[in-house]
Amino acid sequence: MNKITEFAWNITAFEGFENGTASVTNRNPGNLRFNAYTESLGATVASPAGFARFPNFQTGFQALVQFLTDAANGKNSSYKPEMTITEFFAVFAPSSDDNNPNSYAATVCTRMGIPLTTTLSSLLSD
């Protein structure tokens, strides 16, 4: 498994991909917001809370992998390839949305065995 896919699986785990959660209801393991970008990745509609809904888990997971790949390649204006994992989560899961981005980053990095200072672009190498 490449690092971006591993990163996506760890985001899925942190988001709580379990019955009854928004990520399961929306088949959106990364809880990506609905917008033109996620629609281009297969999202069909927005949930009442504004999250993208995908037709199935596979499409939702592939959308997350593509989102992360685009962020790491600098193809998403909100993210830069040189951002650290900590900086990434400050944007991806901001505290203004009642998240704890530092805890999110620490959990994912611990599970992956990488430092918090790992850059997004380094996740593109296998």
Given the DSSP bridges, would you call strands 52-53 and 45-46 parallel, antiparallel or unpaired?
antiparallel
Q: pTM for the complete prediction?
A: 0.95
Q: Give the Å distances, CA to CA, from 34 to 6, 56, 86, 121.
A: 23, 15, 23, 25
* pLDDT of amino acid 126: 67
Residues 32, 52: Cα–Cα separation, whole Å: 6
User: What SS3 class is residue 61?
Assistant: helix
Please say whether the beta carbons of 61 and 101 come within 8 A.
no
User: What SS3 class is residue 95?
Assistant: helix
Q: Give the Å distances, CA to CA, from 64 to 16, 17, 60.
A: 15, 13, 6
Tokens (6 digits) for 101: 């981005």
Partners of residue 119 on adjacent β-strands: 84
pLDDT tens column, 2-34: 999 999 999 999 999 889 899 999 999 999 999
* pLDDT of amino acid 110: 98
Q: For CA atoms 36, 2, 125, 90, give the dihedral sign.
A: positive
pLDDT tens column, 66-93: 999 999 999 999 999 999 999 999 999 9
Question: Which domain, by its residues, includes 55?
Answer: 3-124
Tokens (6 digits) for 64: 């997350």
Residues 81, 124: Cα–Cα separation, whole Å: 10
pLDDT tens column, 36-68: 999 999 999 999 999 999 999 999 999 999 999
As for how many domains the chain has, the answer is 1
